[in-house]
Homo-oligomer: A and B are copies of this chain.
Amino acid sequence: MTTVGVGMVGHAFMGRAHSQAWRSVGPFFGPPLTPVMTALAGRSAERAGAAAASLGWASVETDWKELLRRDDVQLVDICTPGDGHAEIAVAALDAGKHVLCEKPLANSVAEAEAMAAAADRARERGVRSMVGFNYRRVPAVTLARRLVAEGRIGTVRHIRAQYLQDWLADPEAQFNWRMDRDRAGSGALGDIASHIVDTAQFITGHTLTEVSATLETFVPERPAPGGGTAQVTVDDAALFIGRTDAGALASFEATRAATGRKNALRIEVSGSSGALYFDLESLNELWFHDVAEDAATAGFRRIVVTEPDHPYMGRWWPPGHMLGYEHTFTHQMADLLTAIADGTDPRPSFADGLQIQRVLAAVADSAASRSWVDVEGSD
């Protein structure tokens, strides 16, 4: 049994989710490479030590650069805020470590370009990289892609995608790093619009070529954790329409002010001969309409995506037994480990992450210029 030593940077929300996935991927997926939870890096020795003990990491580093020097670490898993991604990822790849980097890939196109270039260099040496758009690996989303690829909905004409959250609807909700442009790059745009752009492109196989957008910050000043107030320097909401390389119309809304919607990543795709609908708040379901049905019984079907031949599901439980949020990370780790073992490039690649960054940049530019903006690199 071959193993791969993992070093993870960061141990907040994402670090906890990744840790559970590293623990679970072995028992459920029996991947060709067995991950070893070797080291956790965090700035505070105390906090990182407590996290490592709780999450199951064998050792602690207070400087992520130490992970790059360790022979027992072959894979670096980056779970920091976006402003740290580029530096860590480039250094790790150049040091010959495989890299899994949380999304969005970076806080700017320039950073993402540097990362994609590093990934290209690394690939030539057999070093792999992947960006963590985990929602691709919700079984219902993977199934949606499969159905589109099989032609089950015909030519895609409409994409309507929303990512609705409400944790900033309340003006009294406290300021944190996610509202700070320097740390997070942007607000709802980078954090959650990036997810729906990736998911939409993943399901349809289309890429966005042009967008018209508007951004809004409903609450420009918020209570600071230490008292007083802090300026919100990112968007609360991003709204845009666009067109794809294959002629579809698309609409996107990402917001943290949709009262009552907790984590509603919803996407509906209308094709010439069928349609699909997914809502992350009902993550084990995919709705599918097939115009080939006889007219008397046609209708959107609620597919409970827990059958053995649904993506990833053969590894879990009998039909009707539901998966949750963190399973998506386990799937991600399984696919990454398989790709490393097989010597293939996992997706979404850093190039994929860069393309999404370019969409986000086009959205920001369009909002600023009040005009349609082409996505860089699209034809």
Contact = CB atoms under 8 A, between A and B. Distances in A.
A299 B288 contact: yes
A306 to B, nearest CB: 6
Interface string A257-301: 111111110001011111100001111100011110101111111
A38 B200 CA distance: 46
Contacts of A255: 158, 270
Contacts of A317: 13, 17, 325-326
B325 A158 contact: no
Nearest to A274: B259
A260 B324 contact: no
A174 interface: no
Interface in A299-329: 299-304, 306-307, 309-310, 317-327
A202 interface: no
B249 A320 contact: no
A289 B299 CA distance: 11
Interface stretch (A66-74, A85-93, A123-131, A238-246): A238-246
Q: How many copies does the complex hold?
A: 4
Contacts of A271: 259
B296 A307 contact: yes
B20 A318 contact: no
A147 B259 CA distance: 15
A281 B218 CA distance: 32
Closest 9 CB pairs of A and B: A263-B320, A262-B320, A260-B289, A324-B324, A299-B301, A299-B303, A321-B325, A259-B275, A323-B324
28 contacts: A157-B257, A158-B257, A160-B253, A165-B320, A166-B270, A212-B212, A214-B243, A214-B249, A257-B272, A259-B271, A259-B274, A260-B298, A263-B322, A282-B282, A290-B297, A295-B307, A297-B303, A298-B307, A299-B301, A299-B303, A301-B301, A301-B302, A317-B326, A321-B325, A322-B325, A323-B324, A370-B371, A371-B372
